[in-house]
Chains A and B, each alone.
Chain A
Amino acid sequence: MLVLDTATPAVTAALAEIHPSGHAVLAQRATVDGRAHGELLAPQIDELLAEAGVKPRDLAAVVAGVGPGPFTGLRVGLVTAASFTMALNIPAYGVGTLDALGLRTAGRALVATDARRREVYWAVYADGSPLTGPAVDKPADVAPRLAGFAVITAVGEGAAKYADVLGLPAGDLRYPDPSAIVELAAQRVRDGAPSEPLTPLYLRRPDAVEPSARKPALSASER
């Protein structure tokens, strides 16, 4: 199966196999460049297929990180996943990007990725399972909300960038690991679960302002 995540600056792609009792990542690529998802992703997939000696028509499923993440990059992964799903008539499964990061944490942990505009996408995990849903907030507003969770560690690029404000030591894990993404979808793949719509987690409304009343075209002296 093809594994994709473009919800962080790490443009991530992998090929993985699902076994009855486990899974294996055959090949993977992650290039960190927050502005070039559209240029990097397709060549990476092409390289992975060549490296693993896999033909596209051999793929049995697509698993994609559905965010949250910066919109433009996030859509690159999701539309690529949708194209593969449609062209090969195979199922698609979505995985929360924060959940993939959270899966690799122990105890109470904060997962925070960079949402740009001085905000983070975040959620709290207990031994890898989510305790809260994903949200987007300023780091200074996240910090007080962590108190009740007894969070001890934090992972993700946002946690590293705002470690001071969050008041938590940031672990080394910055971006989602393909094997974690596979793990979160493995049971659905094994069960042959129905294909899912890959709905992006935007968590923000589009910036748009309705036009205000007409500005006068005549200058004051002309009125």
Chain B
Amino acid sequence: MSTSEPLVLGIESSCDETGVGIVRGHTLLADALASSVDEHARFGGVVPEVASRAHLQALVPTLHRALDEAGVTLADIDAIAVTAGPGLAGALLVGVAGAKGLALATEKPIYGVNHLAAHVAVDTLEHGPLPAPAIALLVSGGHSSLLRVDDLTRGVTPLGATIDDAAGEAFDKVARLLGMPFPGGPPIDRAARDGDPLAITFPRGLTGPKDLVEHRFDFSFSGLKTAVARWVEARERAGEPVPVNDVAASFQHAVCDVLVRKAIDACRTQGIDTLVIGGGVAANSRLKAMAAERAAEYGITVRVPRPKLCTDNGAMVAALGSHLVAAGITPSKLDFAADSAMPLTLVGV
């Protein structure tokens, strides 16, 4: 195999997206996706068993689509990478067992990789090799983390994470409150475009002087969500109309303000001039604009992959796998477990 430009197939199944991606080195060849998001919509959140069943049904068809799209066969592949964690245990297991089956049948090496590190690695498919060190902000319905990345193939250093709801979860809950569909990110982003972000001042969790000592790089969105609920309910009780666009814009502004503030603080205190943003919430238009604007003041470069690469997909797993192969990292053994709480310090298993 070519170790500098390995052909790697990546499988992702940690939540509600079944993704199969194929990369050659840093070049994206295919990114096939099947989503069970519609099946979860009426439950207002991802139902693990529904997601697991959907992964089993979708995996083989998605594999076929990815191989067709890339114009390669399984025999051409140098290595298989799969998300080993963190994520929903039953959902992860479908991808892991499926990937092991493929690796066995084709006699190829397999890499069980960390989903969060993969969210960082995917940016290299769009913007090339990542300068080291870099700060990464990963925000989605399942995660909100601030990391320091020195060497993607060796491990990343967690700086902070949410202590309650994930950022995307706050979007989902506020969207529901405003009568918008699940997932809540896109409808809130749309509504916010016609609203005033400064109309209502919502709280910024963990930004007080005391919090900045103990939770400098941690997030909290539960209080914000409750504040929005209380504000909306007070309006309704008073018989006044709820200015949905203003609520959406002000809520989104509060979330983005905290995320960007803490990410830039991390860059500045660590003397780092590259900020990578990933995860589904990175597709939010306000977050990208605010980060770019504020980072520019400090000479920090912001890298955000295109929206399709921000949300969960197989290409990110393949991208990280490609890094591991190129670095000569030993493949995983066939007995590795899907680890729903896989720590960030582990890039592979």
The closest CB in chain B to the CB of A81 belongs to B101
Are A83 and B105 also in contact (CB < 8 A) when A43-B334, A202-B53, A216-B233 are?
A: yes
Contact between chains at A218 and B53 (CB < 8 Å): no
Contact between chains at B105 and A42 (CB < 8 Å): no
B59 within 8 A of A: yes
Specify which of B47, B74, B90 is in contact with A87 (CB 8 Å cutoff): B74
B308 within 8 A of A: no
A108 within 8 A of B: no
Contact between chains at A79 and B106 (CB < 8 Å): no
- Over the window 110-124 of chain B, the binary record of Cβ atoms lying under 8 Å from chain A Cβ atoms (1 yes, 0 no) is 000000000000000
Interface size on A, residues (CB 8 A): 43
Partner-binding segment picked from A97-105, A135-143, A176-184, A206-214? A206-214
**Residues in chain B near residue A223, CB distance under 8 A:** 237
Partner-binding segment picked from B91-99, B125-133, B198-206, B258-266? B91-99
A150 within 8 A of B: no
Contact between chains at A75 and B52 (CB < 8 Å): yes
Contact between chains at A87 and B230 (CB < 8 Å): no
Minimum C-beta distance from B133 to chain A (A): 34
Complex-state Cα separation, A202 to B105, whole angstroms = 27
Complex-state Cα separation, A165 to B337, whole angstroms = 36
Contact between chains at A218 and B237 (CB < 8 Å): yes
B107 within 8 A of A: yes
**Residues in chain B near residue A72, CB distance under 8 A:** 52, 89-90, 93
B336 within 8 A of A: yes
Specify which of A40, A41, A84, A210 is in contact with B43 (CB 8 Å cutoff): A210
Specify which of A56, A79, A86, A211 is in contact with B104 (CB 8 Å cutoff): A56
B289 within 8 A of A: no
Minimum C-beta distance from B157 to chain A (A): 28
Contact between chains at A206 and B49 (CB < 8 Å): yes
**Residues in chain A near residue B102, CB distance under 8 A:** 83, 86-87
Q: Chain B residues in contact with chain A, CB under 8 A?
A: 42-44, 47, 49-50, 52-53, 55-56, 59-60, 63-64, 74, 89-90, 93-94, 96-107, 176-177, 226, 229-230, 232-234, 237, 333-338
A selection of 30 A-B contacts at a CB cut-off of 8 Å is: A37-B97, A38-B337, A41-B100, A42-B100, A42-B101, A42-B103, A42-B334, A42-B335, A43-B333, A46-B104, A55-B107, A56-B107, A59-B105, A75-B52, A75-B90, A83-B59, A83-B102, A83-B105, A86-B102, A87-B102, A87-B106, A208-B50, A210-B42, A210-B44, A211-B44, A211-B176, A217-B230, A218-B233, A222-B234, A223-B237
